[in-house]
Amino acid sequence: MTARTIHFTLNGAPVTADIKPHHNLVELLQTHFGLTGARESCGQGLCGCCTVLVDGRAVSGCLFLAVRIDGTEVVTIEGLDAGGKLNPMQEAFVETGAFQCGYCTPGFILMANQLLDAHPDPDDDQIRHYLSGNLCRCAAYPQIIDAVKLAAKKRKTIAA
């Protein structure tokens, strides 16, 4: 089927891509832009490894038609350390050791950022609610929850 040209903002920079209607967002990021932070694992919306922010909201890239990002702002894990400095959530994951293999980490970090945007001071319930759709096969869950709380503190210090 015929390719079409889409324009969007990728990690802050305006970009263009020629894509086919049946490609999903993960395929687009990997094949056109060499970004592999969002990766397809379950492919069914369940695990969160393919998380991408579209206009600030987390979506499963594996279930998202790439053409739909025409005109939107897309942020992937690769866009978080703008200017060479890790984002507070990334720092917090490193400091608390909130991963083992790291396969799930980009998804957790992006989702946790959306959580803190909505609830700057989340309780355990809110953390679990937002992260219930992210799976970590290494089961780093306790440290992940610690990381989210630490990042919330870091963000407050930065804002103060």
Partner 1 sequence: MIPFELAEPKSLTEAIKLLAPDDAMVRPIAGGTALMLMMKAGVFHPTRLVSLGKIEKKYSGIAAGKDGLRIGAMTTLSALEQSLDMKKLAPVITRTLRTLSNVRVRNVATVGGALAHADPHMDLPPVLIALGASMSIAGPSGERELAVEDLFTGYYETVLQKNELIAEVRVPSQDGTRAAYMKVTTGSADDWPALGVAVALQSDGNAVKSARVVVSAATSKAMRLPGAEAALAGQRIDDKILARAGEAAANEADFIADVRGSVSYKRELLRVYIGRAVRAALESGAH
Ligand X SMILES: Cc1cc2nc3c(=O)[nH]c(=O)nc-3n(C[C@H](O)[C@H](O)[C@H](O)COP(=O)(O)OP(=O)(O)OC[C@H]3O[C@@H](n4cnc5c(N)ncnc54)[C@H](O)[C@@H]3O)c2cc1C
- Contacts to partner 1 by CB under 8 A: 1-2, 20-22, 24, 43-46, 48, 51, 57-60, 62-65, 67-68, 111, 114, 129-130, 132-134
41 lies in the binding site for ligand FES (CB under 6 A): yes
100 binds, among ligand FES, partner 1, ligand X, none (CB under 5 to 8 A by kind): ligand FES
122 lies in the binding site for ligand FES (CB under 6 A): no
DSSP string across 46-112: SS-TTEEEETTEEEEGGGSBGGGGTTSEEE-GGGTTGGG---HHHHHHHHHT--SS-SSHHHHHHHH
**φ, ψ for residue 43, nearest 5 deg:** 70, 15
40 lies in the binding site for ligand FES (CB under 6 A): yes
Q: What angle do CA 90, 51, 80 make, to 5 degrees?
A: 35
What element of type H or E holds 147? Answer: helix 141-159
Only segment of 7-15, 82-90, 96-104, 118-126 that touches ligand FES (CB under 6 A): 96-104
- The side-by-side arrangement of strands in the sheet containing 13-19 is 13-19, 4-10, 73-75, 51-54, 57-60
Applying the rule CB under 6 A, the residues between 48 and 87 that interact with ligand FES are 48-50, 60, 62
Closer to ligand FES by Cβ: residue 26 or 116: 26
Q: By rule CB under 6 A, what string of x and - marks binding of each residue 127-146 to ligand FES? A: ---------xxx-x------
